[in-house]
Amino acid sequence: MADRSLEPNQKPSVTRRTFLGTTLASGAALFAGGSDVILGAASSTAPTMITNPTWQLGGDLPVNRLGFGAMRITGEGIWGWPPDRENALKVLRRAVELGVNLIDTADAYGPETSELLIAEALHPYPKGLVIATKGGLTRPGPGQWVPNGRPEHLKQAVDGSLKRLRLDRIDLYQLHSVDRKVPMEASLGALKEMQDVGKIRHVGLSNVDPKEIERARKVLPIVSVQNQYNIENRKSENVLVYCERKSLGFMPWFPIGGGGGLKPENPLEKVARDHGV
């Protein structure tokens, strides 16, 4: 019998609808996971978070469900330095002041710029702050995103992120994208080696489907998945269902429809449609 929990067109449950509502209200990345996610709808009367406001990342790292995605603190097109460097630093510090204790970044953001700014703004890091970064997706030039899952590259990427973030160990290191030219097992084997020597605490995945998660979990423990998911794009609904069933963390990227996908409807078009014009 087919596992209906993995069907891509399954309608969202109330949990996921409220998940989206809170995401839209927050305007920031939301860390969610497991079937115990209970988030309030985005309205003036409903609470923004009903219960269980934290998630145990990997079973030992408590993080608030509302995290900070540090992709946009870079320059235009996620390339280079931001036009107002001081403001970017202030935004990072303010996020932590407001209670954010999970910051998500990647070596591809800038590239390297986001990680450098995080360290500049927040190091020495306050107790309990979890820094998650990603590797395996390179930036040869503006607008270019090229997967590189070669083991030697990933090992160098981990060392580079450790240096830029001024860390001895990365709390969560996520494979940014599966490289179709390299067996996933080889890529993850390299990350397991880095985990075994103490450079990575937990490993996650990004831009994957349930079958790829299953393959990855045969190589090493996976604690989180980061895919695009928002009110417009529900293609990863089956991945979210999988994460709920397996008690994995789910981190949506573009949680409020970043990238220009969500645009206000032209009111004239609505009137015309209502009148059959």
Domain total for the chain? 1
CA 197 and chain centroid, separation: 25
More confident of the two residues 261 and 77: 77
pTM for the whole structure: 0.78
Q: How many CB atoms lie within 10 A of CB 268?
A: 9
Least confident range from 25-34, 112-121, 170-179: namely 25-34
Instruction: Say which of 109, 173, 229, 242 is annotated catalytic.
Output: 109
pLDDT at position 184, please? 98
Which residue from 217, 204, 273 is spatially nearest to 31, judged by alpha carbons?
A: 204
Q: Tell me whether strands 249-253 and 224-228 are parallel, antiparallel or unpaired.
A: parallel
Within 8 A by CB and 6+ apart from 186, the residues are 149, 150, 151
Assess contact for 164 and 116: CB atoms under 8 A.
yes
Confidence tier at 243 by pLDDT (50, 70, 90): very high
The answer to whether residue 109 is catalytic is yes
For 179, the domain range is: 4-274
Classify residue 248 as exposed, middle or buried by CB count within 10 Å of its CB (0-12, 13-18, 19+). buried
User: Which CATH number do you get for residue 113?
Assistant: 3.20.20.100
